[in-house]
Homo-oligomer: A and B are copies of this chain.
Amino acid sequence: MSHTNTQVLFHSRPAGMPKEDNFEIVERSMPSIGAGEVLCRVLYLSVDPYMRGRMNPGKSYAAPAKLGEPMVGQTVSEVVESKDSHFRPGDFVLGFTGWQAYAAMPAKDLRKVDPVAPLSYYLGVLGMPGLTAYVGVIDIGQPKEGETAVVSAAAGAVGSIAGQIAKIKGCRAVGTAGSDEKCAWVTGELGFDACINYKTANLDDALKAACPDGIDIYVDMVGGAMLEAVLRQINVHARIPLIGMISQYNATSPVPGPNLGPLLVNRATVRGMVVIDHQDRYGDFIRDVSAWLREGAIRCREDVVQGLENAPGAFIGLFRGENVGKRVVQVAPDPRRGAQR
């Protein structure tokens, strides 16, 4: 075991787009554990757009990240030492260790993962993004056979799963993404019925063409102009799970929203959701999505960035739309896949 612990500290709060120098990489001494604690070696860490909110000084749905501490985030780790009876060395665990190579964690804050799937999936399709997609589409979207579901950020961690769940539930699935390459993957590999490149298309025309029967569900990860365009084509009693607003996370001044007239006229529902409220659905989610993965009804792709030191760049790249599929950072070799996965 190494004698130092590499950490990526949250160094300064960004104004607008986060930059590399909002983070600082340091070497610290290895943590030691006390009773009821577990020493974790981080294998994979998750980078997700929602973390941008944690970098702001004000309270969002969670407390802001603290300057000078490891950047917050969920990881999959291997237990290397345990002073708690529920965990043993060699166990794999999910936890919010933050961005560091090793972490001393209270056992109560860890969840053991049964690695029936690749470990990194517990940060993606079988993790928070997957549960977000599951609750967003099924519980809030209430999909009915033959309806049309539009999913933004369709090549992202949540959107790619959300559209496939909508398909499983009998909907026409229409994605939006930021490049032709992403769109080709969304329709070709994931089986969406259509995908709109929002950077090159006229949104109104493209939505009209892709959704000839209007829009019943909109899984919104982006806000902004896309939400506005979708609202112009929603059907009566449309449901809109509001999951993310990546288009405005880096805004430095207040951003107006969409005109809400169509919600009134169409008696539609917009419901904000954060996955932490829906842990009661975790069991159903794991059961269903595991089965859909086995059957090939859901496919996923990971975008694995190597090396803890590259976590800041991997995170920042999310806002440039670099990733296709779920982006994770590999911090240490995955013992279940050999040295390089």
List residues of A whose CB falls within 8 A of some B CB.
53, 60-61, 223, 227, 236, 242-245, 248, 254-261, 263-274, 277
Contacts and interface: CB of A to CB of B under 8 A. Distances in A.
B266 A242 contact: no
A139 to B, nearest CB: 12
B248 A263 contact: no
Contact of A272 (B53, B244, B266, B271): B266
Given A61-B267, A265-B60, A265-B272, A255 B248 contact: no
A301 B111 CA distance: 60
Contact of A260 (B61, B245, B264, B277): B245
B61 A265 contact: yes
A259 B265 contact: no
Contact of A242 (B248, B260, B271): B260
Nearest to A53: B265
Nearest to A264: B272
B270 A260 contact: yes
A243 B245 CA distance: 25
Contact of A261 (B248, B267, B270, B273): B248
A136 to B, nearest CB: 12
A263 B236 CA distance: 21
B256 A242 contact: no
Contact of A270 (B227, B255, B269): B269
Contacts of A227: 260
Nearest to A50: B264
Contacts of A269: 269-272
Given A242-B264, A264-B274, A270-B271, 6 more contacts: A223-B261, A264-B272, A265-B274, A267-B274, A268-B271, A270-B270
A256 B259 contact: yes
11 contacts: A60-B265, A61-B266, A223-B261, A248-B259, A257-B257, A263-B271, A266-B272, A267-B272, A267-B273, A268-B271, A269-B269
B270 A263 contact: yes
Contacts of A261: 223, 245, 248
A244 B267 CA distance: 11
Contact of A264 (B245, B263, B264, B265): B245
B277 A267 contact: yes
A259 B254 contact: yes
Contacts of A61: 236, 265-267
